[in-house]
Chains A and B, each alone.
Chain A
C-alpha cells in the first residue's frame, strides 16, 4: 500500500529564511505527487504537482525517485506562506493518499 510521510508536524522559520518541507513516500512504481496547501480560513487547494515542474508562489518540489522524496522548497519564506501543507500521492489511477501535514509558521 502507498504511504506518505511528512516527518515534521510543525516547522517554524524566520521571514526571509529558506524553507524545506519534507515528504517521503513508499510506492514501488511511478507515482504522481502533489503538494496541497490550506491557508487559515481557506479551503484546501493544490499548490503544485511534480509533472508540471513549475514554481508556484516561489515554491518548487523535485521528485527524487532514489530517495523516494518530494520535498517542498522556497528560498525566502514570506509571512503569507504560513499555512498547513499536505503532500499527497496517486499511484496511477488510484485515490490520493495524503500525509499528515506540516504546519509552517513564518515568523516576522
Chain B
C-alpha cells in the first residue's frame, strides 16, 4: 500500500515568490492534515480536511496560506507571497478516523525562503 506522498521534497524560493506544495493521502482516507515544523520549534497543526471540506483551519498562520482539496483526494498548500519565516518542513498526514485515529505522515517538504 502506498503511503502518503508529498511533492516536492525540497523547495528553495526567494522572498515574495509563490510556492505550492502537494500532498496525496492514503487512498480511502477522508481525513487530511497539514503540519509545519519551523527550525527549533515543535510540529504545529495548520489545518484539517474531511474529504473536500475544511474541518479546522485554526492553525493557519495568516492569509498568505491557502489550502485546497478539490474532489477530496489530493491537497495543495500554497504560500503567496512567501516570507522568510515560512521556512520549515511542511508535513501532510492522513487518517481514516479523526484526530484520535492513527495519522500516517508523509515525508515532508522542506521549504527554504531566501
Neighbour of B59 across the interface among A32, A95, A100, CB < 8 A: A95
Docked Cα-Cα span, A97 to B44, in Å, equals 7
Instruction: Flag if A101 contacts B42 (CB, 8 Å).
Output: yes
Docked Cα-Cα span, A9 to B3, in Å, equals 29
1/0 per residue, CB under 8 A from B, across A4-37: the answer is 1000000000000000000000000000100010
Docked Cα-Cα span, A101 to B43, in Å, equals 9
Neighbour of A96 across the interface among B45, B106, B107, B108, CB < 8 A: B45
Docked Cα-Cα span, A86 to B107, in Å, equals 16
Chain A: CB-nearest residue to B6: A43
Instruction: Flag if B105 contacts A95 (CB, 8 Å).
Output: no
Docked Cα-Cα span, A29 to B104, in Å, equals 26
At the interface, yes or no: B72 with Cβ under 8 Å from chain A?
no
1/0 per residue, CB under 8 A from B, across A45-57: the answer is 1100100000000
In the assembled complex, which residues on chain A have CB atoms less than 8 Å from the CB atom of B3? 43
Chain A: CB-nearest residue to B4: A43
Chain A: CB-nearest residue to B107: A43
Instruction: Flag if A93 contacts B41 (CB, 8 Å).
Output: no
Docked Cα-Cα span, A45 to B4, in Å, equals 11
Instruction: Flag if B42 contacts A44 (CB, 8 Å).
Output: no
9-residue interface stretch from B19-27, B62-70, B78-86, B94-102: B94-102
A residues adjacent to B (C-beta < 8 A): 4, 32, 36, 43-46, 49, 86, 90, 92-101
